[in-house]
Amino acid sequence: MIKGKPCKVISISVSKTGKHGHAKCNFLAQDIFTGKKLEDMVPSSHGTTIPVVKRSDWEIIDIEEDGQLTLMDEGGEQKIDVKLPTFPEEMADEIREAWNEGENT
């Protein structure tokens, strides 16, 4: 996690121990949702938080007029608490267009 955002670490560089006794770690990472690159520098003796990310594939069963989605996973479990995304702006239109053309995954 860098600046409160879940990230995939791209590279780590470690500086030598300085006069205050701590080496510094410089993390270059990519936000897993936006793709934006982030950088953070922390003392090597400090811990960090690690996000636990689970990927699951869901199939679109229905799209309501208000953008509410009905989804179903491979096990047949349904989810109805998801709305069409608002970011990036054109993604909701792309999903609706694909849905209208017969795609549902």
DSSP reduced 3-state for 12: strand
Q: Three-state SS across 44-92?
A: CCCCCCCCCCCCCCCEEEEECCCCEEEEECCCCCEEEEEECCCCCCCHH
- Given a cut of 70, is residue 21 above it in pLDDT? yes
Say if residue 29 is exposed, middle or buried (CB neighbours under 10 Å; 0-12, 13-18, 19+): buried
Q: By percentage, how much of the chain surpasses pLDDT 70?
A: 98
- Is 14 within 8 Å of 20 (Cβ atoms)? no
31 contacts 5 by C-beta, under 8 angstroms: yes
Per-residue pLDDT, 3:
87
